[in-house]
Amino acid sequence: MGRLTGKVAIVTGAASGIGRASAKLFAAEGAKVVAVDRADAVKDTVEAIKDNGGTAIALSADASNERDVAHFVDTAVGEFGALDAIYANAGISGGNQPPFFELTADHWRQVLDVNLIGVFLAIKHAARVMIPRKKGSIVCTASVAGIRSGAGGGPYSASKAGVINLTTTAANYLTGTGVRVNAICPGIIETGMTKPIFDYAEQRGTKDRIGQLNPLKRYGHPEEIAYMALFLASDEASYVNGQHIAVDGGLTSSMPVTGRIGR
Q: Note the pLDDT of residue 202.
A: 67
In this prediction, the residues of the chain whose per-residue pLDDT falls under 70 are 1, 192, 194-202, 255-263
Domains parsed from the chain with CATH numbers? 8-191+222-249 (3.40.50.720)
The pLDDT, as a whole number, for residue 165 is 98
Phi, psi of 189 (to 5 degrees): -120, 140
Check residue 192 and give its pLDDT. 66
In whole angstroms, give the CA distance from residue 87 to residue 137. 8
Other Cβ atoms less than 10 A from the Cβ of 176: the count is 7
Would you state the pLDDT for residue 260?
Answer: 54
Kindly give the residue spans of alpha helices, DSSP state H, lying in the chain: 17-28, 42-51, 66-80, 105-112, 118-130, 154-173, 195-204, 222-233
Model pLDDT, residue 199: 64
pLDDT at 240: 98
Please state, in angstroms and rounded to a whole number, the distance separating the CA atoms of residues 243 and 233.
Answer: 13
Query: What is the spatial distance between Cα 241 and Cα 223, in angstroms, rounded to a whole number?
Result: 22
Kindly report the pTM of this predicted structure: 0.93
**Tens digits of per-residue pLDDT, 49-88?**
999 999 999 999 999 999 999 999 999 999 999 999 999 9
Helix (H, G, I), strand (E, B) or coil at 183: strand
- How many secondary structure helices (H) and strands (E) does the chain include? 8, 7
Question: Is 156 tagged catalytic?
Answer: yes
Give the pLDDT of residue 151: 83
**Which residues fall within 8 angstroms of residue 163, CB to CB, at 6 or more apart?**
115, 116, 119, 140, 141, 142, 143, 146, 183
- From the list 156, 173, 219, 239, the catalytic residue is 156
In this prediction, residue 209 carries a pLDDT of 75
Residue 85 · residue 31 · CB < 8 Å: yes
